[in-house]
Amino acid sequence: MIGTARFLCLAALTLFCVACGNGDGNPPQMAQLPPSPPTPAQNQAPTANAGVDQSVNEGTTVNLAGTGADGDGTIGSYSWQQVGGTVVVLTDADMASASFIAPLVTASEDLIFRLTVTDNGGASASDTVTVTALNVNVVPVADAGDDQNANEGTTVNLPGTGADGDGTIANFSWQQDSGTTVVLTDGDMASASFIAPLVTASEDLIFRLTVTDNGGATGSDTVTVAVLNVNLPPLADAGADENAVTGLVITLDGTASSDVDGDSLTYSWSLTSIPAGSSVTLNRASTALPTFTPDVDGSYVAELVVNDGTTNSTPASVTISATTPPFGAVGDGKLESIVESMRDLEDLPALAVMVVKQNVIAEWTAVGQRSVGSTELVSTSDKWHIGSLTKAMTGTLIAMYVEQSLLDWDTRPLDVWPELAQSIRPEFVDITMAQLLSHTAGLTPQVFSVPSMNAIFDSAPGTATEKRRLWSEILLGLPPEGPVGAYLYTNGGYIIAGAMLETLTGDTWENMIQMNLFGPLGMVDTGFGAPGTRGQIEQPRGHRVVSGVFRAVEPGPGSDNVVALGPAGTVHTTMADYAKFMDLHINGARGIDGLVTAQSFEFLHGPPVGSAYAIGWFFRNAPNDGGRALAHTGSNRLWIAQVRLLPDIETGIYLVVNAWSPNAQQAMNRLEQQIKERVLATP
């Protein structure tokens, strides 16, 4: 509009000048106008660049590298802002380049950021960038705890922890990286422990804790434990409380005392409490094994302090409870009076008793007359008939041949004597050696009432081996007295077993048992039949009741069972010799090899199911009465012998009387109980 008005004014002025002229007759000239000012340039908008899109792991630092440009000026400011995704905190949001920590995400997520740039003229421009936060398993953090010092020999705790920013800790694992090796306790727990080793100088032990999160990622940390060398006090051990017998020496035992530094120890014992009326004192109180003899019943408390040359231990104490048992204790000197009292009470000719303990004869005695009416007294070196105690000897002998593979426990009579196939009872066709020896073969107990017994007597012609073979054939042809497999005591099984062994070896039972058992054990005073010589009273005589009184039976015919019965019960022996056989089986029952292996002893001592009789032994287990017991009684109706082995306490009891009667048997049973009480009362 303004331009149009200007044009009209200029046109009017021009016409005016033409009409008037310039006074010299020439036409007038047009006036010159000033130029128009330039149009001002407009401000150009800047450009923004928010960078390229990127993908990052969660939990990591992300850099946003922005730029801005302005063609007609400068960039006056930058401004970052988030326009999408989980909100984060932007650092340097007013700078060209900003940053933030990628958030933890359960799945990949896009975050969108806008960069706005403004130029110096106020014009602005924007650009966006997309950052994809990726879901990843973040490595857990392990903390093994602070370094620490510990004295040698002490318990050290390692308190570890673990943290996981995006999950949980699944397990912990401690391991030792360096230093003297120790045993870690709870090495798979957050906190572990160990006993600091003994060291001659301070030493660093380094342990590593590794934690694993539920995603399988691991993190580790180490801790150093400085183990310090110190003098640790010794440890006194006065032993376990014990029971004792008043009047018997008791030995205290401090040998279990110790010093972790390995220093030598000195000992100092004292009695801190004794019963009223006691005047007991300690012997060798400065040694590890002092002794004293309780002089009255009651409790005695002994205290032990040990010293390692520098430091005393904490006192340790032990209580000894002393009593006077009714029948005393082994080694108290009262055995002879106890045995003599029983002999006198029952008016027996003679009695002998022996206790073996830990492979030695702990006590023994023999009282009374070798023969009623004589002045010859028995002694501990005399020979005594042991009857069926022979059976355990025969069983041991056969076990030796089983180990030599001459036969086995399942060998049958028909395997040895196939010629008996037509005469043997069908019930006995498959009976075995083990059944013969454990009284489970079903044989008759009435072995002396069989047909043709006259041919087996000692007066009949033929050898003992021939008579055993004949006796076996007769017994195997008789009807069974009980079912095979059921217990029924009989001498018959041992007669047959001995005869089978004689056939297999071609030797006599007597020679085999002397060469293989008595000889190796050193049983030099052991033999067969009634001991002694007729007309001489150098050995005890067996006795039977005649008209209400005991009468001696001279050695010779009628003084023992028939010779053919040998494997079942014709041995005589001294107490010293029999002690060796007792020790053999006590040790065997404790798992110690002897003339046969411990495995064979286990078989000899283990009865079949449903029976209490093994092979030559009755078996009983009474934990409160000495533990396992192997026992037997033997008698040829002129003597009675009894044995009880208590392997759990390494002890055996043996009793023998040179007479037989119901009263004599009862006296033996009562005496055995008294001796057992002495044994169990002995520390």
Extract the tokens encoding 494: 């041992």
Distance between CA atoms of residues 328 and 336, nearest Å = 12
C-beta separation of 46 from 75 below 8 A: yes
Please report, for the chain, the start and end positions of each structural domain, with discontinuous segments joined by +.
47-134, 141-228, 242-323, 336-407+506-681
- Strands, DSSP E only, in 4-123? 47-49, 54-57, 61-65, 67-69, 75-84, 97-101, 109-119
- Assign 240 to helix, strand or coil: coil
C-beta separation of 591 from 598 below 8 A: yes
Domain 141-228 identical in fold to domain 242-323:
yes
Extract the tokens encoding 55: 């993908």
User: Strands 67-69 and 47-49: what pairing?
Assistant: antiparallel
Give per-10-residue mean pLDDT for the chain (683 aa): 41 40 50 65 91 93 95 93 96 96 92 96 94 90 96 94 90 97 97 94 96 93 95 94 89 95 94 96 97 96 97 97 89 94 96 97 98 96 98 98 98 98 97 98 96 95 98 97 96 98 98 98 98 96 96 96 98 98 98 98 94 96 90 98 97 98 95 95 85
Q: How far is CA 265 from the centre of its chain?
A: 31
Angle at 542 between CA 537 and CA 543, to 5 degrees: 110
- Provide the 8-state DSSP code for 27: P
Task: Specify the CATH superfamily of domain 47-134.
Answer: Immunoglobulins (2.60.40.10)
Q: What are phi and psi of 344, to 5 degrees?
A: -70, -40
Distance between CA atoms of residues 228 and 636, nearest Å = 77
User: Strands 571-574 and 618-622: what pairing?
Assistant: unpaired
Closest CA to 443 of 571, 529, 568, 560: 568
Extract the tokens encoding 467: 């008579």
Tell which CATH classification among 3.40.50.300, 3.40.190.10, 3.40.710.10, 2.40.10.220 matches the domain 336-407+506-681: 3.40.710.10
Angle at 564 between CA 560 and CA 567, to 5 degrees: 90
Distance between CA atoms of residues 155 and 194, nearest Å = 6
- Burial track 100-111 (b if 16+ CB lie within 10 A, e otherwise): bebeebeeebeb
Torsion, Cα 254 255 260 266, to 10 degrees, reads 70
Using CB atoms within 10 Å of the CB of residue 326, give its burial: 0 to 12 exposed, 13 to 18 middle, 19+ buried.
exposed
Return the pLDDT at 261.
Answer: 82
- Provide the 8-state DSSP code for 577: H
Q: What are phi and psi of 363, to 5 degrees?
A: -165, 150
From residue 167, give the alpha-carbon distance in Å to each of 87, 109, 215, 227: 21, 19, 8, 36
Return the pLDDT at 153.
Answer: 87
Q: What are phi and psi of 403, to 5 degrees?
A: -65, -25
**H/E element, 402:** helix 390-403
Q: What are phi and psi of 482, to 5 degrees?
A: -160, 170
Distance between CA atoms of residues 611 and 629, nearest Å = 15
C-beta separation of 557 from 410 below 8 A: no
Return the pLDDT at 622.
Answer: 87
Distance between CA atoms of residues 126 and 110, nearest Å = 19
Q: What are phi and psi of 566, to 5 degrees?
A: -40, -55
- Assign 363 to helix, strand or coil: strand
Q: How far is CA 247 from the centre of its chain?
A: 39
From residue 354, give the alpha-carbon distance in Å to each of 574, 579, 664: 11, 8, 18
- Burial track 578-591 (b if 16+ CB lie within 10 A, e otherwise): bbbbbbbbbbbbee
In CATH, the number for domain 242-323 is 2.60.40.10
Distance between CA atoms of residues 662 and 665, nearest Å = 5
Extract the tokens encoding 86: 């989980």
Return the pLDDT at 39.
Answer: 67
pTM metric for this prediction: 0.63
Distance between start and end Cα atoms, the chain: 140
Return the pLDDT at 4.
Answer: 41
Distance between CA atoms of residues 449 and 577, nearest Å = 34
Which residue type occupies 619?
A: F
Extract the tokens encoding 210: 């590794």
Closest CA to 114 of 132, 127, 96, 125: 127
Tell which CATH classification among 1.20.1630.10, 3.30.470.20, 2.40.50.140, 2.60.40.10 matches the domain 141-228: 2.60.40.10
Return the pLDDT at 41.
Answer: 73
Angle at 478 between CA 474 and CA 480, to 5 degrees: 135
Torsion, Cα 512 517 520 521, to 10 degrees, reads -150
**H/E element, 7:** helix 2-20
- List all residues 6 or more positions away from 23 whose beta carbon is below 8 Å from its beta carbon: none
Q: What secondary structure does DSSP assign to 262-299, as a single string?
A: ----EEEEEEEE--TT-----BSTTSSS-EE---SSEE
C-beta separation of 439 from 483 below 8 A: no
Q: How far is CA 22 from the centre of its chain?
A: 145
- Assign 459 to helix, strand or coil: coil
Counted residue by residue, the chain has a size of 683
- Assign 23 to helix, strand or coil: coil
**H/E element, 357:** strand 350-357
Reduced DSSP (H G I as helix, E B as strand, rest coil) percent helix, strand, coil of the chain, to 5: 25, 30, 45
Distance between CA atoms of residues 375 and 536, nearest Å = 12
Q: What are phi and psi of 559, to 5 degrees?
A: -95, -5
